[in-house]
Amino acid sequence: MRFLCLTARLLCLILPIVAGETAHADAEKRLSCQLEETETSPIGRLFQGQNGWFFRKVDLRPDVMPGKLFLADMARFQQALASRNIHLIYAAIPPRPLMTGNLPDHIPYDAPHVASSFQQFLSALHQHGIIAPNLLPAVKDRPDLFFKTDFHWNSKGAQAFAQALGQHLKTIPELAAQSIHHYRTQPAGEATMFGTMGETLDRICQETIAPEAYPLYRTEKIISPAQIGEDALFGDNPSGLPAILVGSSFSGQKAFNFDGFLSEYSGLEIANLAITGGEMYNAAIAATASDFFHTTPGSAFIWEAQSIYNVDEEATAAFRQIIPAVYGACDTDQAIAHSTITLNDQETPTILTLPAEKNIHGQSYYLHLKSASPALNRITLSFNYDDGDSEIFMMDRSTRFKHEGTFFVELSEELTASLTSITLQDKNARNVTLTAQLCRAPSQQTNL
């Protein structure tokens, strides 16, 4: 087996263990490393902990509480999903040091304060109507669930998190009703992890940094002969309503089998739409805009997120895409304006025009764009208003994104004049046909 993933922040090689190979240097003493060289590395500044453990600067964040805008946007997202009878589950991975210990002795880290900050984060989400289970008690002080020289959990960590999360999902009546499947997980060999952190340390430390071993697992659905007979007799497919999983490489790397474990412990069919290297928002933006989301009824939207993220950064721009994507395209007869045009890379065409007397502004309205060509993946929109103001909004689907040619974006809540036109530019677009619609959010669908 050989597994390779390459992103701006992650380079991992997962290789089969050769008999007699040393999985990892069992370092009980401090290694001799030039860690100051990591200040400008893709993963940021590294610090050496105890017993061979290493941490990124972001792992040692003293506080993980989000801002008010993030919480308000998450509440709007939850309400949009609820309009489609989908539960939003925010599965926050606790700060890594709370689980691994072995912290640097020269870096102040107030673990009780960080744990309290994490709990306050979850409580704030609860107060905004969002299901956010506290998974920390199940994994606190469990260094065996993580790699020493990589920031990911290992497959045992994925299993422990999935078990805690799956048990919580079964306490939600609507999801328990969909928990109709049985899954079996079996060992599937062994592998080693040697990621960006390990490679960096191997380069700047005098000692050799060896890959770390972990077991592989494979999960499969169990279908009984009786169930097969019933399906054939009644023509039913007892698949239940799938739960969509989005998130980072913690969910996206198949070798960790997080989605498989989650199916086993929850009884739910998991549609894994996580994106390795997609950071906080890419997977959620891509999933809500996907054909799968809009054609397959779902039961839950499970958002795995690392606590290292500054969730406030880019939150407004991200949720302006995520929330209208939940509503989807509007019918042509309900669209405020619509057009179909052909783009090329030498033009910045006006894709929609509106009379000022329509008084269109704010997040009650959104733009939907659809093209059959995935080449339309880096667009710049200009929203122009009758008082002379305009907003430039850029969307990049070119890397670390599952792109189907669909875009959604809300109008800015900060601009209160009337929208009069929208222009678009994409330097990669050559003879690309684009359909544009300006839609009302469902709660605003009244006659103007």
Q: Convert the pLDDT of each residue in 1-36 to its tens digit.
A: 333 333 333 444 444 443 333 334 444 578 999 999
What integer pLDDT is reported at residue 27 of this predicted model? Answer: 42
What integer pLDDT is reported at residue 179 of this predicted model? Answer: 87
The distance in angstroms from the start CA to the end CA of the chain is: 60
Domain 330-442 belongs in CATH node 2.60.120.1380? yes
Q: How far apart are CA 251 and CA 241, in angstroms?
A: 20
What integer pLDDT is reported at residue 17 of this predicted model? Answer: 40
- Could you say which DSSP state residue 255 is in? G
Percent of the chain, pLDDT > 90? 79
Nearest to 151 by CA among 277, 267, 27: 277
State yes or no: pLDDT of 430 exceeds 50: yes
Question: Cα 271 to the chain's mean position, in Å?
Answer: 13
What integer pLDDT is reported at residue 223 of this predicted model? Answer: 78
Q: How many residues does the chain have?
A: 448
Helix, strand, coil content of the chain in percent (nearest 5): 30, 25, 40
pLDDT band at residue 348 under the 50/70/90 scheme: confident
State yes or no: pLDDT of 72 exceeds 90: yes
CB-CB contact of 381 with 424 (8 Å): yes
Question: Cα 431 to the chain's mean position, in Å?
Answer: 32
Q: pLDDT tens-digit profile of 153-208?
A: 999 999 999 999 999 999 999 999 998 889 999 999 999 999 999 999 999 999 99
Q: How far apart are CA 73 and CA 367, in angstroms?
A: 18
Q: pLDDT tens-digit profile of 97-129?
A: 999 999 998 889 999 999 999 999 999 999 999
Average pLDDT over every residue of 215-244: 70
Q: pLDDT tens-digit profile of 265-302?
A: 999 999 999 999 999 999 999 999 999 999 998 999 99
Domain with CATH 2.60.120.1380 in the chain: 330-442
Q: How far apart are CA 248 and CA 269, in angstroms?
A: 19
Q: How far apart are CA 168 and CA 157, in angstroms?
A: 17
pLDDT band at residue 436 under the 50/70/90 scheme: very high
State yes or no: pLDDT of 351 exceeds 90: yes
Q: pLDDT tens-digit profile of 81-91?
A: 999 999 999 99
What integer pLDDT is reported at residue 269 of this predicted model? Answer: 95
For residue 144, count CB atoms less than 10 angstroms from its CB and return exposed for 0-12, middle for 13-18, buried for 19 or more.
Answer: exposed
Q: Where are the alpha helices (DSSP H) in 296-447?
A: 315-327
Q: Which helix (H) or strand (E) holds 420?
A: strand 419-425
What integer pLDDT is reported at residue 12 of this predicted model? Answer: 45
What integer pLDDT is reported at residue 427 of this predicted model? Answer: 75
What integer pLDDT is reported at residue 373 of this predicted model? Answer: 86
What integer pLDDT is reported at residue 217 of this predicted model? Answer: 98
pLDDT band at residue 345 under the 50/70/90 scheme: low
What integer pLDDT is reported at residue 228 of this predicted model? Answer: 52
Higher pLDDT, 355 or 225: 355
What integer pLDDT is reported at residue 263 of this predicted model? Answer: 97
Q: Which two tokens stand for residue 172?
A: 């939600």
pTM of the model: 0.89
Q: pLDDT tens-digit profile of 231-264?
A: 544 444 455 789 999 999 999 999 999 999 999 9
Q: How far apart are CA 298 and CA 319, in angstroms?
A: 20
Q: How far apart are CA 275 and CA 414, in angstroms?
A: 31
> 315-327 and 282-289 are packed helices; what angle lies between their axes, rounded to 10 degrees?
20
Q: Which of 34-43, 359-368, 404-413, 427-436 has the lowest mean pLDDT?
A: 427-436
For residue 394, count CB atoms less than 10 angstroms from its CB and return exposed for 0-12, middle for 13-18, buried for 19 or more.
Answer: exposed
Q: Which two tokens stand for residue 44?
A: 């940021």
What integer pLDDT is reported at residue 418 of this predicted model? Answer: 98
